A and B are shown apart, each in its own frame.
Chain A
Amino acid sequence: MNRLTESEKLTSPYVKQKRNPFFSSGFLILAGGCLALFLFLLFESESGDSSTSQPTASEASVQKSEKPKRKELIAYLQKHPEDEFAHFQLGELIQNRAPFQALENFSHVTERHPRYYEAVEAIAKIAQEQGLDDRATSALFILVREFPEERRYQKSMAELLFQQGRSNRALRYARRNIELGGEAADDYLLVAEILKQAGRTLEMTGPLKQALYQEPGLYDAHLNLAYAALYSGDLETATREAKWCLAEKPESTTALRYLAIINRNQGNIEKSISYIDQALSTDPEDLESLLLKADLLIYQRKGEQAYQLLKPLYANQQTDRRYISALARAAGLAGKREEALELQQLNQRLIKEEDLRPSSLQSESVQKRQAGRK
């Protein structure tokens, strides 16, 4: 599933050109280039030859045709740096090849200009693509505030905040997207995934069922439903969904792992081990499967085996607290008490590092109040 499709379309420069014809001096050059491209493509299609080199040739042709216009716009802007529309045009022209420069050009378009919101939208798109999250967020925030009924902005904002791990805010926008009529399976799936990230697993079932109602064969929704059901203790649903996923993708280590967890939670430890061994035969380096296998061995009091399974991963996983904790448990059970203590202390240090990051648990406002004051 590609949840960025819609926003990518929205920020496509070609779509905007159709909507907003230009009347600058460079337009004729661009139009000439396009005409040449059109004739070239027409000729090629008539000839029936569809060799793989064609797209490259056409791209080169477009690039070639853009070049004079770009030069012209740059020259023009050197003389008229205040011309917002020229900045906008140049931004549109170069955003695929020189996104950072385009970002700079779009930034020159001010609120007074009629193309301002298109520029903001382009900024949001480029910033998102280039990993400039703060820039993208502030751009999308402008759009969401100006067009509160525009679903696409709500959804983009939700996706962006979700990627940043800001689940609570992401959820607000994802839900607003649905309120505004977003009824596609991926709209609901987005809500479910944000809830998962927020640790609100129990609330995932509703949106997942909606997603599956819209698109019964949506694999990710089935897999997430298996997870949500497993978490809430509905092992029947969890089993059904995990098995559906496994039938669709027999190599799915996630589905195999879920089945292992289901069996573990039902007390079927041996069956659980057999599922996790299947997962590990598919992907011997899957950390989640290795951790689960170690967990099962630890439960069976096979501390040394668990330790041998986990220890080789230390170099790469020494900042993963779940790994460190599992290794500590294995070491403790295997009688390596000193090492177990060191690992637990390492876990403690990692927790302290985590605590330095801002947390949603913190109050926005803490006041010290005297008794009796209202």
Chain B
Amino acid sequence: MTSFLFNRSIRSVCLAALCGLYVLLLFSQNCSLCAEEKPSAISFEDVTNAAQINFQHRSPVTVKRHLHLMMGSGVGWVDFDRDGFPDLFCAQGEEWSTVKRKQSHPIDVALSNRLYWNRRNGQFQDVTAVSGLTVMNYSMGIAVGDYNHDGFDDLYVSAFGRNLLYCNQGDGTFSQVSSLAHVDDPGYGASCTWADINGDGLLDLYVVNYLEIDREHYPICSRRVDGARVYFICHPRYVPGQYDVVYLNLGNGSFLDVSQKAGLHSEPARQGLGVFAADYDQDGDIDLYIANDSVANQLWINNGQGVFTDQALVAGLAFNRSGDREAGMGLAGADYNGDGEVDLFVTNYFGETNTLYRNEGGLFFLDVTDETGLAAPSHARLGFGTSFLDVNNDGWEDLFVTNGHVHDRLSQLGKSEPYEQEPQLFLNQAGTRFMDISEQSGEFFKTKQVGRGCAVADFNQDGLVDLAVSHLNERLVLLENRSEQIHKSVALQLVGTTSNRSAIGAVVEVVSDSRKLIRLRKGSSSYLSADEAWITCGLGDCRSEVTVKVRWPGGKTENWSGLQPGGRYTLIEGTSVLPDQSQTQP
């Protein structure tokens, strides 16, 4: 009897254990299903107020709808004090009527570009006045780079009017050296980027110019609607474009305008807005892809000496798959499908698609927008800023797009094209397709805005990349990435010694387990904007140490091994033989 009871109790225990195991199995299966079906683990929170950022962009429309007032300004991350935490630079607009007034009025900081110092506790402090960055103009694009090799990142700001170069003094202040350095181009500057175009180890400047207009020669466009004259911003295709500018860094604090010699005048000027610099033909020098508004895009291929020829036509990058030119605004570049090549994403006009060009190698690209699921979500949007960023550290570069129209009164023409539009976030599904996860990613993505620039940084060093988004005539928004941290990242800062100190143009290969992840050190990004210098690379399922190969500008490569997931490393050119010298910040 005892034995029977004992056996029975053993059987009961076994049965219970089996049941428990089954429930556990079921639970784990359910969880894995949940994980697959719930991309809502991605979440961005608007922390602008909590971070004490109160930047309000000023660009009120005029009755006559002056065009430049609709184009907005960029945003850039710059670690101006070298504390490892990125600070935030916000470019400011300007009222049409301010120009006359400002000569007789003292400069109001609220109407100036602003610099916010990252206090390393999730809050920022406005240091514009003390840093010497107060200015009254219509600022547009931002490029961040250490052009004079003093270890401190400098700022170049393009403008509707004369562009500005701010030299970082290293003591928390900047001095404006635009005219001294001969980089104060008076054109209508849009995106700009630092890049070493002639391989001399110095950062040169590429400035995209938009239209041949200034305050003295300004086209005003209108139509008669129901008997009344209604003003609209002019269509850029019917306003002459302006030549882009290349400034060669002479190494003595000044630059030389070599635009013509560099070949930029070999074809008519175009209406440029975006730029993305990378070595597209993998010959060791920096090439430039330019997004032009409603005319063919350009791909300036460098001969290594800083002389360019436009090869966009043969590379398949001038037009979309239908052979149409699109209204190129912002640009993002990344290896979205993990094949080791830099692919390109261009934001375009309402009714067009944003266009994803897959790099096939051999300087040939294919428009794969439809196949990757990016066409339909962009038909009813006018895209501006865009960034590739790995929001969940799974090792695949996701895509952010900020949207907003340039016409605010299309309803008067009977058109249903909203002025304010929701931003979008697309999750990269293992390099094959993008899934629109905007609605599940936070309130910000449900809010209609007139988006313009955007820039990526891990501002709080939590291992997840965050976003700053600029809006036209609206407040700037800081988005903290609060996604579930399933995967870890590794953060890398590159320091050039023989190549440019900012290492702009370097390519990083992070090798983990079975994957090789390519990341770029960009000179600028998106639309008018600049990402943080640190490269945050999501590692996916990798839990063990990784190897990093850096291809420095110029082609020299170095390897670092033993880098831990979750670590932050500064990799100095020429030091890979001493891996223990790499600085580790837990």
> CB of B432 within 8 A of chain A?
yes
- CB closest residue in chain A, given B413: A168
Judge whether A341 and B222 touch: CB under 8 Å. no
Shortest CB distance B383–A (Å) = 15
Judge whether A332 and B314 touch: CB under 8 Å. yes
Q: Tell whether A366 pairs with B234 under 8 Å between CB atoms, given A326-B321, A329-B316, A341-B314.
A: yes
Judge whether A367 and B322 touch: CB under 8 Å. no
- Provide 9 A-B residue pairs closer than 8 Å at the C-beta atoms, listed in order of the A residue: A199-B351, A232-B376, A233-B379, A299-B366, A341-B314, A361-B238, A362-B238, A367-B219, A371-B218
Partner of A329, one of B220, B321, B376, B380: B321
Interface of B is mostly: loop
A230 CA to B353 CA, complexed, in Å? 13
**Residues of B close to A298: CB separation below 8 A:** 366
**Residues of B close to A21: CB separation below 8 A:** none
A-B complex: 9 closest residue pairs judged by Cβ atoms: A233-B376, A325-B323, A363-B221, A371-B215, A344-B313, A321-B323, A341-B314, A361-B235, A347-B323
Shortest CB distance A314–B (Å) = 15
**Residues of A close to B325: CB separation below 8 A:** 351
**A 361-374 binary contact with B (CB < 8 Å = 1; else 0):** 11111111111100
- CB closest residue in chain B, given A272: B371
**Residues of B close to A372: CB separation below 8 A:** 97, 99-100, 215
Judge whether A269 and B371 touch: CB under 8 Å. yes
Shortest CB distance B488–A (Å) = 29
Shortest CB distance B117–A (Å) = 36
Given contacts A171-B414, A269-B371, 11 further A-B contacts (CB under 8 A): A200-B416, A202-B380, A231-B379, A266-B373, A301-B360, A321-B323, A332-B316, A337-B364, A363-B222, A367-B221, A371-B215
- CB closest residue in chain A, given B416: A203
A367 CA to B323 CA, complexed, in Å? 32
**Residues of B close to A172: CB separation below 8 A:** 414
> CB of A246 within 8 A of chain B?
no
**Residues of B close to A362: CB separation below 8 A:** 235, 238
Judge whether B370 and A370 touch: CB under 8 Å. no
**A 216-230 binary contact with B (CB < 8 Å = 1; else 0):** 000000000000001
**A 305-336 binary contact with B (CB < 8 Å = 1; else 0):** 00000000000000001101110110011000
Interface of A is mostly: helix
**B 219-248 binary contact with A (CB < 8 Å = 1; else 0):** 111111000010010110110000000000
Judge whether B99 and A344 touch: CB under 8 Å. no
**Residues of A close to B370: CB separation below 8 A:** 261, 264-265, 295
Shortest CB distance B339–A (Å) = 11
Total residue contacts A-B, CB cutoff 8 A: 135
Judge whether A367 and B220 touch: CB under 8 Å. yes
> Using a CB-CB cutoff of 8 Å, which residues 319-346 of chain B contact chain A?
319, 321-325
> CB of A340 within 8 A of chain B?
yes
Judge whether A231 and B218 touch: CB under 8 Å. no
Judge whether B234 and A299 touch: CB under 8 Å. no
- CB closest residue in chain B, given A269: B371
> CB of A138 within 8 A of chain B?
no
Judge whether B379 and A265 touch: CB under 8 Å. no
Partner of B314, one of A265, A344, A367: A344
- CB closest residue in chain A, given B221: A363
> CB of B296 within 8 A of chain A?
yes
> CB of B216 within 8 A of chain A?
yes
- CB closest residue in chain B, given A234: B376
Number of B interface residues, CB 8 Å? Answer: 52
A350 CA to B413 CA, complexed, in Å? 29
Q: Tell whether A337 pairs with B314 under 8 Å between CB atoms, given A364-B224, A366-B221, A369-B64.
A: yes
**Residues of B close to A11: CB separation below 8 A:** none
**Residues of B close to A361: CB separation below 8 A:** 235, 237-238
**Residues of A close to B319: CB separation below 8 A:** 325, 344, 347
Judge whether B366 and A370 touch: CB under 8 Å. no
Partner of A265, one of B216, B223, B238, B373: B373
> CB of A114 within 8 A of chain B?
no
Judge whether B321 and A325 touch: CB under 8 Å. yes
- CB closest residue in chain B, given A365: B222
Judge whether B64 and A333 touch: CB under 8 Å. no
> CB of A48 within 8 A of chain B?
no
> Using a CB-CB cutoff of 8 Å, which residues 341-387 of chain B contact chain A?
351, 360, 364, 366-368, 370-373, 375-377, 379-380
> CB of B105 within 8 A of chain A?
no
**Residues of A close to B219: CB separation below 8 A:** 366-369
**Residues of A close to B238: CB separation below 8 A:** 361-363, 366
**Residues of B close to A328: CB separation below 8 A:** 316, 323
> Using a CB-CB cutoff of 8 Å, which residues 437-465 of chain B contact chain A?
none
Shortest CB distance A99–B (Å) = 35
**Residues of A close to B373: CB separation below 8 A:** 265-267
Shortest CB distance A310–B (Å) = 13
Judge whether B216 and A341 touch: CB under 8 Å. no
Partner of A264, one of B217, B371, B415: B371
> Using a CB-CB cutoff of 8 Å, which residues 86-104 of chain B contact chain A?
97, 99-100
A365 CA to B224 CA, complexed, in Å? 9
Judge whether B375 and A370 touch: CB under 8 Å. no
Partner of A321, one of B215, B322, B366, B376: B322
**Residues of A close to B364: CB separation below 8 A:** 332-333, 337
> CB of A65 within 8 A of chain B?
no
A319 CA to B120 CA, complexed, in Å? 60
> CB of A201 within 8 A of chain B?
yes
Shortest CB distance A330–B (Å) = 10
Shortest CB distance B205–A (Å) = 28
**Residues of B close to A295: CB separation below 8 A:** 321, 370
**Residues of B close to A329: CB separation below 8 A:** 316, 321, 366-367
**B 257-295 binary contact with A (CB < 8 Å = 1; else 0):** 000000000000000000000000000000000000000
**Residues of A close to B235: CB separation below 8 A:** 361-363
Partner of B366, one of A201, A333, A345: A333
Q: Tell whether A231 pairs with B376 under 8 Å between CB atoms, given A267-B432, A299-B368, A321-B323.
A: yes
**Residues of A close to B318: CB separation below 8 A:** 344, 348
A325 CA to B318 CA, complexed, in Å? 11
A331 CA to B296 CA, complexed, in Å? 20
